[in-house]
Structure 1
């Protein structure tokens, strides 16, 4: 969610700091230091106050001059779906949700707008993926995110998953 300008400022700072050091160079991105970034550029865009879609996309890291020096690695296995500790029903639900998220990221879910004349920038979340508001809404969210947390909160392997 950080603007490309922040990364470019960090790049310039590292180049300045490291330009006269033995193993680094002011001519290399981030002064030759390795930076590891995580995220999904299709889903987590930078925040541009009152910005339109074009301004938000223009502020994203892939629009930076640094981007051509980046190596993008893709995660290919959904670890939750492959877990042996879940029921077939839960596995099916997780696969459905993962497929829907993928379609959202690829722009294949129909958008709508709430006001006439505005660009469509809203999507409808299918009812089966919505955790309902109610007196237990926070507990339902925790239960959906961390099944059986109350019994496994001290199990390090569970927490690492």
Structure 2
């Protein structure tokens, strides 16, 4: 999720550009995501600093129309995973420190950096030949990294 300062800057930019004081100059702006799960990055920041930087802490939050999505399109083929994501969002699977413990079937055991990375890649992209014949299947796969770093 974007830092609320960036969103407020966009609002101010549109107002200045169009010489209007309406929120986002009356333009339709769509934000997506689960605000309970995805906080903006605050380098070296605490959880409370991340919440303070989030969109829900912005003075603009009251002006936005919130439309809840009811179907997780990424997880609808796996009801167990979808239920687990909802439990995370509801804060039902965290320990005292607010950390989520992943179920063992979701974890790649660590041996060495290169070996564990190879196991992860071969699990996610198990049949590259299939992807060559059906690129849409490849588009449903991704490896997300919180640091966007592979080093």
Q: Which TM-score applies when normalising by structure 1?
A: 0.70
User: Residue 58 and residue 33 in structure 1: after superposition, are their counterparts in 2 closer, same or farther (change >3 A)?
Assistant: same
What does residue 123 of structure 2 align with?
140
Structure 2 unpaired stretches of 5+: 110-115, 141-151
Q: 1:36 to 1:128 in 2, by over 3 A?
A: same
Structure 1 residues 37 and 80, CA, compared in 2 at 3 Å: closer, same or farther?
closer
Paired residues of 1:131 and 1:141 also in contact (CA < 8 A): no
Query: For residues 45-124 of structure 1, what are the structure 2 equivalents within 5 Å?
Result: 45-79=39-73, 91=77, 94-112=78-96, 120-124=97-101
Shift in CA distance, 143/105, structure 1 to aligned 2, threshold 3 Å? farther
For 1:149 and 1:125, how far apart are their aligned partners in 2?
Answer: 28
Query: RCO (CA 8 Å, sep 6+): is it higher in 1 or 2?
Result: 2
- RMSD of Structure 2 on Structure 1 (CA): 2.6
Paired residues in the alignment total 133
Check if 1:18 corresponds to 2:1: no
TM-score by length of 2: 0.74
Q: Structure 1: 5+ residue runs without aligned partners?
A: 20-25, 83-90, 113-119
